Amino acid sequence: MDKPSALSQPSGVGVLDRSIAVLDALRAGPLTLAELAAATTLPRATVHRLATALEHHGLVDRDEFGRFRIGAYAITLAASAPDRGLADLAVPVLMSLRDETGESAQLFVRHGDHRTCIAAADRVSGLRDSVPVGAQLTMNAGSGAKVLAAWSSEVPRGARYTTAELATVRKRGWAESLSEREAGVASVSAPVFDADDVLIGAMSVSGPVERLTPSARKRLGPVVVAAAQELAALL
């Protein structure tokens, strides 16, 4: 899984910038104090002070192992985001897709040079690829990125895919990736269109390459397309 995106430009308010860096790092999942300090490149004492202050306000809390993670209040704030309605509609579709494929399922929307996971349904047990809701992944690689770029006039700089690949994605209606955003992970994605045939998101399934073999990805392509069309019909 991709690491959270770095902050683009500091605001000049140091304590705010450092607090946001802590929250940004936690989007990848729960982290110990040492891991959080390494992810933010901030001193351990500073990270501890910021994380406990954020915990006091509900923006951060801790899991059963004492690791820091995104808190309930931060999730509540995220629930008021413009994409929330789409995410709410997507959850049951993603759960059905997960159950049908046996793999984790996600819905991504594009935000500039990144794509954001706004809804997900993880494989219940066993080896799985888990993408937390709110995580920002690169637009330079991965099947979701290819889908979001294929029906867009803007291909990000540094993309590891070609315009020819995007033409293939448009022709067959889905994209695949193999160890592109993370070694050992494969995925299949399909576009979600609104009533005006405008691309609004990419629906994906992802898992270990041992299960998502070339033949499995070819079989899953139409399944993910059907799920994406199911979500589009709900809009």
* Domain spans of the chain, in order of start: 14-78, 84-234
Identical fold between 14-78 and 84-234: no
139 and 115 in contact (C-beta within 8 Å)? Answer: yes
pTM score, whole prediction? 0.67
Question: What class has domain 84-234?
Answer: alpha beta
Predicted confidence (pLDDT) at residue 18 exceeds the cutoff of 90: yes
- Residue 125: what pLDDT? 82
Contact predicate 224/104, CB 8 Å: no
pLDDT higher than 50, residue 155: yes
Q: Give the helix/strand (H/E) hosting 49.
A: helix 44-56
Q: Which residue has the higher pLDDT, 41 or 2?
A: 41
Q: Which residues lie closer than 8 Å to 202 by C-beta, 6 or more apart?
A: 107, 108, 109, 115, 143, 144, 145, 147, 148, 189, 190, 191, 192
The CATH T-level fold of domain 14-78 is Arc Repressor Mutant, subunit A (1.10.10)
Residue 9 banded pLDDT, cuts 50, 70, 90: low
